Amino acid sequence: MTMTTIPKCTKKPAPFKFKPFSKKKLKVLTWWKPNSPVKDYDGIICDGSIRAGKTVSMALSYVMWAMESFEGENFGMCGKTIGSHRRNVITPLKKMLKSRGYKVKDHRSENMLTIKKDGVTNFFYIFGGKDESSQDLIQGITLAGIFFDEVVLMVRSFVE
């Protein structure tokens, strides 16, 4: 009888592979920068066809803006449910950020990400806005900014 051992898998997850950004996505990624024509606005809204890359560019832009503009602040990231937001936004976002030199710690029990880069640390809380009771979870926290993915799927009381 021969015994074969199988080595333990220690392979790291593949880094996020960026494709060149379109002109519209570059506008999204730099909307707050000094040379942007919309730098004086408080935020941006993207709409468009399915699979156009809105979520990827918006989520990355949101974190880059927060990290370049604030230190030690709380931010919100919202989807219809926490589970769908983690699957559709947080999972690819963590890969994107790590490939750009950010350190990301996911505190799953608190639904919060701690993100660090170049001595700056900020905290990103994850919320779901699926029903009227969802507003109770977000009330009372002071946020320096908020990101809504698929906001039309959320109840109005949560968004307002």
pLDDT at position 3: 65
At 63, the amino acid letter reads V
Residue 21 maps to a domain: no
Q: Is 56 helix (H, G, I), strand (E, B) or coil?
A: helix
Measured over the CA atoms of residue 32, residue 38, residue 39 and residue 42, the dihedral's sign is negative
Highest mean pLDDT among 22-31, 87-96, 123-132, 133-142: 87-96
| pTM for the structure as a whole | 0.81
**Which pLDDT tens digit goes with each residue over 24-82?**
878 888 888 999 898 898 877 777 666 557 788 889 999 999 999 999 999 999 888 89
**6 against 89, higher pLDDT:** 89
At 67-112, the pLDDT tens digits run 999 999 999 998 888 999 999 999 999 999 999 999 999 999 999 9
Q: What is the DSSP letter of 88?
A: I
Task: Examine residue 36 and state whether it is found in any structural domain, yes or no.
Answer: no
Tokens 């559709």 found at = 88
**For residue 76, is it within any domain?**
yes
3 state SS of 104: strand
Residue 112 lies in a domain: yes
Residue 34 lies in a domain: no
17: in domain: no
Domain tally, the chain: 1
- Domain assignment present for residue 59? The answer is yes
Domain containing 122: what range? 53-159
Residue 90 sits at φ, ψ, to 5 deg, of -65, -45
Indicate whether 68 belongs to any domain: yes
Give the list of residues 6+ apart from residue 65 with CB closer than 8 angstroms, or none.
31, 32, 145
Distance CA 140, CA 117 (A): 28
Residue position matching structure tokens 């809105």: 54
